[in-house]
Amino acid sequence: MQESTTGGETRRETRLPVEIPTGIEVDYKNLTARQIADLISRSQTGKIPFSLYMHECLYGENGFYAKGKVKFTDEVDFVTYPEMSPAFGATVANYLERAWKKMGKPKQFDLVEMGAGSGEMAKSILDWAQISNIDFYNALKYTVVEYGGGLIRRQIGKLNDHKNVKWIKGSAFELPVGQINGAFVSNELPDAFPVELVTKMGERIVQKYISVRDNEWVEIWDEPTEEVKRYIRENDLVITSGLVEPINMYARDFQAQIDQALNRGIVITFDYGELGQVGSENPVRLYGLGIQGELNQRYLYSHPGLVDITFSVNHKTLLLQGERDGMEKEIFGRQDEVLKEMGFDDVVETALIIEESPRSSKKEKDILMRMMISRDYVVSPDTRIKGIVQSKNL
Ligand SMILES: C[S@@+](CC[C@H](N)C(=O)[O-])C[C@H]1O[C@@H](n2cnc3c(N)ncnc32)[C@H](O)[C@@H]1O
């Protein structure tokens, strides 16, 4: 930090770049680490933005999602709410059915789920539709957009009872679908999109870059790119010293692409985050390696490509983008509140009636019983996760 005096006023200026060694050596046996080090050595500035580091770790040739290294439920990396109970997917299906009715019960209702994980939410949405309203089920054309090839194989296995599902291998932030009349849904997706990181040093807003010095990972704070500066302005972000703010430009692009692809229908997005800024001292969260709970921050550099990297989402930026694109905000709130508004109580009541009906099959009874036993998980208040429902031409 350097002090300068102009007109009697003392201003603190930070000399850029500021380099912070991580103390972690590049593990050249790790293919992702090697690829990133190579990218850095070939870059003109000798450093890459943090988002590119994260992109390679998750979506690079040997990245965490590309290889489908992520493990769900019984294998541990993490358990998501739709996996805890089929009541989650059933409630989403219930709300989708309402939208289908509002649209005049069209013969085809396109449903695109992005980032389907183990396929559990897709299964419970389809199971519920099949049990509760066969006309709606018959209208459903389900498309899964999934990045990880390994995961697609698992999802196909889980959904083989349902013949109305197809898969597109691709990224939700380069959305590979045409015009949609129906819905887009996702759970815990944009938190995995690569972000830039910014903070304030003295009077200056700075952005994080990654480099290598003497075989050690180094973090570099330097001038933000024009794109990052524009994003900060457009989203009215206040960058403060001591707090690192994730800048999720892919999430904004993802929302914009959905808005463009949606002809008529709704968008349901559940994820960790806030209706506003999500900065903190250390905003990165790491999971994986079969270890339960959050991993130590060192794993970001010691195990690139082997751990999941996530950041909370600023939901306001999604809503702002939606507004710009002419989307209507239907619901925003804590996950349990949103599920209640989507008709969780009706679903539970209907499930009880169907379960007791002598005409229900054994398979239906099994699904419903599992749902009733585990239903309370999904409406237990969890302040970390929010849901957004937006609509167009409904
Ligand atoms: C945290 S998991 C959530 C899985 C599932 N939705 C659930 O709630 O159980 C993230 C999922 O998104 C997928 N994914 C991550 N980035 C993606 C992207 N850019 N496009 C499509 N899928 C992606 C992952 O492969 C994984 O299936």
At residue 1, the pLDDT reads 46
Residue 214 backbone phi and psi in degrees, to 5:
45, 50
At residue 12, the pLDDT reads 60
At residue 67, the pLDDT reads 63
pLDDT digits (tens, 9 = 90+) for 203-227: 999 999 999 999 999 999 999 999 9
- Domains in the chain (CATH in brackets) are 81-187+333-383 (3.40.50.150)
At residue 323, the pLDDT reads 97
At residue 56, the pLDDT reads 96
Tokens 């679903």 found at: 347
What CA–CA distances, in Å, run from 207 to 190, 214, 248? 21, 22, 13
C-alpha of residue 136 to centroid of ligand 1, in Å: 26
Q: Return the bridge partners of 307, or none.
A: 288
Ligand 1: residues with CB < 6 A are 65, 70, 80, 82-83, 114-118, 120-121, 145-148, 151, 171-173, 187-189, 192
Of the listed ranges 76-80, 98-102, 370-374, the one predicted with least confidence: 76-80
C-alpha of residue 378 to centroid of ligand 1, in Å: 19
pLDDT digits (tens, 9 = 90+) for 327-357: 999 999 999 999 999 999 999 999 999 999 9
C-alpha of residue 139 to centroid of ligand 1, in Å: 25
Q: Which atom of ligand 1 lies closest to the CA of 172?
A: 20
Average pLDDT, the chain: 93
Going by alpha carbons, the residue nearest to atom 11 of ligand 1 is: 115
Angle between helices 249-261 and 315-324 (to 10 degrees): 40
Q: Is the pLDDT of residue 77 over 60?
A: no
Those residues whose C-beta lies under 8 Å from the C-beta of residue 67, and which sit 6 or more positions away, are 148, 149, 150, 305
Going by alpha carbons, the residue nearest to atom 19 of ligand 1 is: 171
Question: Which structure tokens are listed for 197?
Answer: 């990181």
At residue 14, the pLDDT reads 80
